Amino acid sequence: VKNEVPNVPAPLPGLRQQSTAVAVPAHQRRHRHVAGWLEALPYLLPLLIGLMVFTIGPIFAALILSFTDWDLLTPPEWIGLGNYRDLFTRPVFWTILGNTLYYTVLYVPAAVVLPLLVAVMLNRPLRGIILYRGVYFLPVITSTVAIALVWMLLYQPEFGVLNYILKQFGVSGPNWLADERWAMPALVIMSVWKGLGFNMVIYLAGLQGISEQYYEAAMIEGANGWHRLRFITVPLISPTTFFVLIISIISSLQVFEQTYILTRGGPGYATLTMSYYIYQNAFQFQHMGFSAAVAYVLFVMIMLVTLVQFLLQRRWVFYQ
Amino acid sequence: MTGGLMTSPRTLRTVCIVLLALLTFLSGCGSAPATTTPTTDVVTEGQAEPTTALPDETANDEPVTIKFMSWQGSVGTVEEIQETLIKPFNAQHPNITVEVEVLPWGEYWTKIQTLVAAGTPPDVYGQSVGYAWDHANKGISLNLQSLFNQDLDQSKFLMRPFDVLRYPDIKGDLYAVPIRWVNSALFYNKTLFDEAGLEYPNENWTFEDMFAAAQKLTKDTDGDGTPDQYGMSARMDHVMLDTIIKANGGEVLNADFTKCQLTQPVAVESIQWVTDLVLKHQVAPKPAPAGQTDAAPTFASGRVAMSIDGSYQIASLQEVTEFDWDITWTPKGTAERVVYGGPDSLSISKQSQHPNAAWEFVKFFLSDDAGIKSIGVGSVPINKTIAESDAWLKSVQKPQNYKVLVDQEPYVVGADFGPSWIEWRAEAMQRELDQALLGTRSVAESATAACTAIDAILARVDR
């Protein structure tokens, strides 16, 4: 409520004064406190209703659904843990889980390291720096569908730019998206490129919070560029890195658009991911309950991974 | 059933309906992915109440309103449907008002499901081969068999495609009435045949003849070791693979759609034959991922001389000007000739308040008055008179041999359009067998994996 106060007009300034006044008796204060809540409520309701109806409600409804067999057409049937039992005994589930983790393992290191390097390069007073930053940020605001269509052309085995470049070095490029071994790396390359600008901006903000004094002091001590990056920038930017790491892992465990548009999960099962499997079971196969169960498995996975990261952060994240 | 919150199925159902409504709402906010499902897989189903006397609104001319739903690219836009179907229909039935709604493919099925769950489905709706069996099985669509027997003369229709849609099996009843259907055909590039000095394919060809020609039509013109022109395409989809398996005397599923038959010798040999086209003989390119026409040469690119494909491809080939092409009979297998057929059809909701009015509307689609405007390029009208009329036969410039699509009718067989078709056929079977075609796993292993997956899916169906 405190955060909302400055935004709320007429009655609240008065409330603020009163609630901080020592002279007001306790019972009266409580009364005014309740009154303040009641006054704030109408302003909060649109947000609260939206949150309840569109986020918290569905989250709990999905949990209940995951214990049912529901095809959307006939009434749902309570089957307890049936969906979860079914899920873990399907060979295809383990393939899909493996694919999702494989994507994450390939994507996250690149998505954490490359934007940092770009941010360090662009964190200096260059002529036209805003243009460079804008160019790197451009893919972020472009729709994945448009980007995927362009990358499809880049990946085209015979006439695509990528294989043309490889050919100049005497390398015969693979049929990227149609080859089981290359389809997933191809998706990762595109995703890293698309996400680079977003993480870069976060790093840039972090970099600008590091005081110049550290670098000056280090240079007097004779530290070269690498030393400054390794022993000043990296440790001091670690809270930002921590944030980038967490959102990168979450977004890669939920990867959907890339595989939906570029490969439809193929060839074979090579790029079928958890989110895609959830989508398919819910909207193509009409197994709403089963789909909700997969969604909850993914949810728990993400929760655990994030929790572990928070536990491990004290070992490597330095808050100034 | 257990637990305090969810003791009543009705409560649970209500919760689920609300949830679905939310999901529908939310999915509308996201970027809806473009649908790629071909319009060929439409089936309609209607049901006649065999013995129960329904109030016959049409007899006493009481005004009724029925709702018709269809998806984009099926029978036309709302305006087109008003003009080509509802206007002439109303000339005959002034008392029946038809409301029309047309949605994109993906949204369409979500909406149908929501409306059924809410108890307010459209009276008449476009049905897909992918869902027709499930809708009959779950009591969503009406059994139309007795209405059909009572009102329609079989000799007026091309009847084979009807069998594709029967429930529970090929000898069962109609819960969806075809209005048109798509065929498999042998598409061939006349320009490439002329260049090679080969005779065009004809109705006597077998798949082996096709393969022999494909070897002569595969060329590596730049000498880099990979062909730049292929003799044919090879795919594990239902139009090509299932047709070959059946033409060789094999089965994909058993007759009552309960068991996968792909591990039977004939099926394994047929899958091997298709795989060899790519891996051993290299007369066909490796397949491109779904939705990616650029990742591999296609018939439309002019670099593949022949293709066993669905007649729905004719529409997109209309724009091709770089080469000349035509179609001919689907080749014969070692056992018989089999032609794939996928009907587009209409169903009537079991919950419809006006089944008789709905049935009148369905019948209009099948009548001579419906014309060809709602048929679409590449689909054959189910009404014999229309299918054999010049109006339809000469409705396209290419292919010259458009008529072969009608001629193939006596050989039409469906692609086992049984329960959970999209899940077991379009997804599981396709993905498992594609791995054989990619060479990452043997044909025998892929067939076994496919059967394991398919049997599990079929076992989950409540029959």
As separate numbers, helices (DSSP H) first and strands (DSSP E) second, chain B gives: 19, 12
Which of B31, B140, B292 has the CB atom closest to A152's CB atom?
Answer: B292
B286-307 pLDDT, tens digit per residue, is: 877 666 666 678 899 899 999 9
- Closest chain B C-alpha to A11 CA, distance in angstroms: 36
Question: How far apart (Å, rounded) are the C-alpha atoms in residues B256 and A275?
Answer: 33
pLDDT exceeds cutoff 90 at B246: yes
* Residue B101 Cα, gap to closest chain A Cα (Å): 20
pLDDT in tens, B393-432: 999 999 999 999 999 999 999 999 999 999 999 999 999 9
A72: left (phi over 0), alpha (psi -120 to 50) or beta: left
Question: CA of A176: which chain B residue's CA is closest?
Answer: B295
When computed from its CA atoms, the radius of gyration of chain B, rounded to whole angstroms, is 23
Closest CB from B6, B134, B296 relative to A64: B6
B45 has pLDDT over 90? no
- Which residue of A264, A275, A278, A279 to mutate against B (max B Cβ within 10 Å)? A264
Q: Could you say which of A68, A73, A92 has the minimum Cβ distance to residue B117?
A: A73
Would you call B20 and A288 a contact, using CB atoms and an 8 Å cutoff?
yes
Q: B16 contacts in A (CB within 8 Å)?
A: 61, 65, 68, 70, 75-76, 288
pLDDT value of residue A273: 96
Q: Do A73 and B116 touch (CB under 8 A)?
A: yes
pLDDT digits (tens, 9 = 90+) for B28-43: 443 333 333 333 333 3
Q: How far apart are the first and last CA of chain A?
A: 29
Residue among A78, A179, A261 whose CB faces B12 most closely: A78
User: pLDDT value at position B12?
Assistant: 54
Is the bond preceding B168 in cis, omega lying within 30 degrees of 0? yes
- Percent of chain B clearing pLDDT 70 (strictly above): 86
Higher-confidence position of B440 and A17:
B440
Q: Which helix (H) or strand (E) holds A259?
A: helix A257-262
A148 to chain B nearest CA, in Å?
11
Is the CB of B294 less than 8 angstroms away from the CB of A70?
A: no
Question: In a mutagenesis test of the A interface, which of B7, B11, B12 is the best target, namely the one with the most A β-carbons within 10 Å?
Answer: B12
Of B5, B12, B295, Cβ closest to residue A76: B12
Whole-number mean pLDDT of chain B? 86
Chain A positions touching B41 (Cβ under 8 A) are none
Residue B159 confidence class, pLDDT cut points 50, 70, 90: very high
Chain A residues touching residue B27 (CB < 8 angstroms): 283
DSSP B208-253: HHHHHHHHHH-B-TT-SSS-SBEEE----SIIIIIHHHHHTT--SB
SS3 A91: helix
C-alpha distance from residue A150 to each of A143, A153, A193, B225, B306 (Å): 11, 5, 12, 28, 29
> Which residues in chain B are closer than 8 Å to A178, comparing Cβ atoms?
286-289, 292, 295-296, 438
Nearest CA in chain A to B117: A73
Question: Is ipTM over 0.85?
Answer: no
CB–CB of B281/B215 below 8 Å? yes
Distance between B288 CA and the closest CA of chain A, angstroms: 6
> Closest approach of chain A CAs to the CA of B414, in angstroms?
20
Q: What is the pLDDT of residue B192?
A: 96
Nearest-CA distance from B185 to chain A in Å? 26
DSSP count for chain A of H helices, then E strands: 16, 2
**Which residue positions in chain A have pLDDT lower than 50?**
1-21
**Closest CA–CA distance from residue B2 to any residue of chain A (Å):** 7
d(CA B432, CA B260) in angstroms, rounded, equals 13
- The shortest C-alpha distance from A246 to chain B (Å) reads 24
Q: Which two tokens stand for residue B370?
A: 């419906």
Phi then psi for residue A63, to 5 deg, are -60, -45
CB contact under 8 A, B292 and A175: no
Q: How far apart are CA A208 and CA B77, in angstroms?
A: 56
The residue-averaged pLDDT of B239-262 equals: 96
pLDDT for position A16? 44
The verdict on a CB contact (< 8 Å) between A268 and B432 is yes
Query: What number is the average pLDDT over the span B88-93?
Result: 93
Query: CA B423 to CA A290: how far, in whole Å?
Result: 14
pLDDT at B458 over 60: yes
Task: Provide, as residue numbers in chain B, all residues whose Cβ is less than 8 Å from the Cβ of A143.
Answer: 31
Tell me what the mean pLDDT of segment B106-133 comes to: 91
Distance CA B187, CA B328 (A): 7
pLDDT at B374: 81
Subunit contact B113:A286, Cβ cutoff 8 A: yes
Rounded Cα–Cα distance for residues B412 and B380 (Å)? 12
pTM score of the predicted model: 0.82
What is the distance between the alpha carbons of residues B17 and A70, in angstroms, rounded to a whole number? 11
- B202 pLDDT band, cuts 50/70/90, is very high
Minimal C-alpha gap between A303 and chain B (Å):
23
Residue A100 Cα distances to A72, B10, B180, angstroms: 27, 37, 42
In a mutagenesis test of the B interface, which of A74, A81, A144, A159 is the best target, namely the one with the most B β-carbons within 10 Å? A74
Q: Which residues of A144-172 are buried (b: 16+ CB within 10 A; e: fewer)?
A: beebbeebbebbbbeebebbeeeeeeeee
Q: Cα–Cα distance between B375 and B358 in angstroms, integer?
A: 20
Q: For residue A179, what pLDDT is reported?
A: 85
Please name the residue of chain B whose CA is at the shortest distance from the CA of residue A183.
Answer: B289
Task: Choose among B27, B33, B287: nearest Cβ to A178.
Answer: B287
Q: Do A268 and B18 touch (CB under 8 A)?
A: no
Beta strand pairing call for B304-310 and B230-232: parallel
* Binary contact (A260, B33; C-beta < 8 A): yes
Q: How far is A57 from chain B (nearest CA, A)?
A: 9
Q: Which of A76, A92, A284 sits opposite B13 (nearest CB)?
A: A76
Inter-chain residue contact A268 with B3, CB threshold 8 Å = no
pLDDT tens digits for range B92-113? 999 999 999 999 988 898 899 8
Q: Which of B2, B26, B116 shows the shortest C-beta gap to A80?
A: B2
Most B CBs within 10 Å, among A85, A284, A288, A290, to test the B interface: A284
**Pairing relationship of beta strands B339-348 and B177-189 according to DSSP bridges:** antiparallel
Residue A317's pLDDT is 87
* Sequence-ordered list of residues with C-beta below 8 angstroms from that of B43, at least 6 positions apart, any chain: B127, B128, B129, B131, B132, B165, B176, B178, B343, B344, B345, B346, B347, B417
Interchain pair A72, B114: CB under 8 A: yes
Chain B CB contacts of A280 under 8 Å are 427
Considering only the beta carbons, identify the residue of A62, A76, A268 that sits closest to B440. A268
